[in-house]
Amino acid sequence: MNKETEISILSKAAADLGTNSYLGPWLKSIISELERDLRSDFIPVITLAEARQQSEYILAAARNTAETHWNRVRDEADAVLERAEKDATRTRDRLIAQLLASAKELGR
């Protein structure tokens, strides 16, 4: 059997299954990829279970990366807030001291 015949069989199967079947729309959506791989002599070897496992690995890695970034950003935000609170306290204390000094000066 040649590649053209295999591609024709896949296309016919997708058409025969139609849009109201479970596999028809899916098969139709991947025919171009299968055709490309077949013409390039790549044999489709990944199973659905392997694809699921790979996608779960990718999602776990993405979640880990997101959590790492979130923790870093949260820590940076906490540090900024802490510095701002200290600056606000120093400014308030300085203003109170100036007001007391001004009041003392007026009281003389």
On the question of pLDDT at 15 being above 90, the answer is: yes
Q: How confident is the model at residue 14 (pLDDT cuts 50, 70, 90)?
A: very high
Quote the pTM value. 0.46
| pLDDT score for 43 | 78
Q: What's the DSSP call for residue 21?
A: S
Q: How confident is the model at residue 47 (pLDDT cuts 50, 70, 90)?
A: confident
Separation CA 28–CA 11 (nearest Å): 7
Q: Please give the structure tokens belonging to residue 11.
A: 């296309």
- Region 42-70: what's the mean pLDDT? 90
Each residue's pLDDT tens digit, 63-81:
999 999 999 999 999 999 9
Separation CA 108–CA 104 (nearest Å): 7
Please give the share of the chain, as a percent, with pLDDT higher than 90: 72
CA angle (39, 36, 53) in 5-degree steps: 120
Question: 11 exposed, middle or buried (CB, 10 Å; 0-12, 13-18, 19+)?
Answer: middle
On the question of pLDDT at 106 being above 90, the answer is: no
Q: Please give the structure tokens belonging to residue 82.
A: 């802490």
Question: Other C-beta atoms within 10 Å of 14: how many?
Answer: 20
